[in-house]
Amino acid sequence: MRQHLDDILRGLFRENPTFRMLIGMCPPLAVTTSAESGLIMGLATTAVLICSSTLISALKKLIPNQIRIPAYIVIIATFVTIVDLLLKAMLPEVYKVLGIFVPLIVVNCIILGRAEAFASKMPISRSITDGVGIGLGFTWALTFIGCVRELLGAGTLFGFQVLGDSFVPWQIMKMPPGAFLTMGLIVFVLNSVELYRARHEQKRARSQIRLVRKEATGQ
């Protein structure tokens, strides 16, 4: 149980695919013009990731090593097709915004990478929790970027007016440069916090070492 919880937390924070590993960058930069589009894209990717990881883990002993990558892509493409049809039927307006990026989930390096590095080597239960962790980490990252861009670019959040009529929208946030700017600032803040924590831990460790040395020498 502890391992499963660690798998989820690792994907959410320590190995977040967007803010930590900086992989699968096309969706975060292309579809996060609003919080809703980021959330839906993240959840669609999460569903494909969990289902494909589960099936690949279950079939890992049956898939020949020589054709494993094409086999993984076929499995991923199957679930992407299902998600694509469901989005088109249930959320047509959002589907129009996401456009070609839903079918492109097939070649998302996050999904293929987890299939090769984790699901193909681990039991089904851990492959599921790994998919949940990485998927939800990807989802909250896309949603957060979408929230920032929508709030500053339109003054709204999930379509609801948040900032007053006097607010002047930042038009750059609706364009591709706004995605790069938002992404860069978020990564900068997270890395700065991590660096501060690391330095704080080093100072604590040095203080403890000095304290132990004083006690050992009797000073």
What digits encode the pLDDT tens for the residues 28-61?
788 888 899 999 999 999 999 999 999 999 999 9
Closest by CA position to 30, among listed 179, 188, 152, 205: 179
Tokens standing for 208?
């403890």
Asked if pLDDT for residue 133 goes beyond 60, the answer is yes
Strand, helix or coil for residue 163 = coil
Asked if pLDDT for residue 130 goes beyond 90, the answer is yes
What's 12-66 look like in SS3?
HHHCCCCCCCCCCCHHHHHCCCCHHHHHHHHHHHHHHHHHHHHHHHHHCCCCCHH
Report domain extents, the chain.
2-194
Asked if pLDDT for residue 178 goes beyond 70, the answer is yes
* Average pLDDT value over all residues in the chain: 88
**Are 173 and 182 contacting, i.e. CB atoms less than 8 angstroms apart?**
yes
- CA-CA distance, 127 to 135, in Å (whole number)? 12
Question: What pTM was computed for the model?
Answer: 0.86
Mean pLDDT of 189-209: 85
Asked if pLDDT for residue 143 goes beyond 90, the answer is yes
Give the best-scoring range by mean pLDDT among 52-66, 152-166, 205-219: 52-66
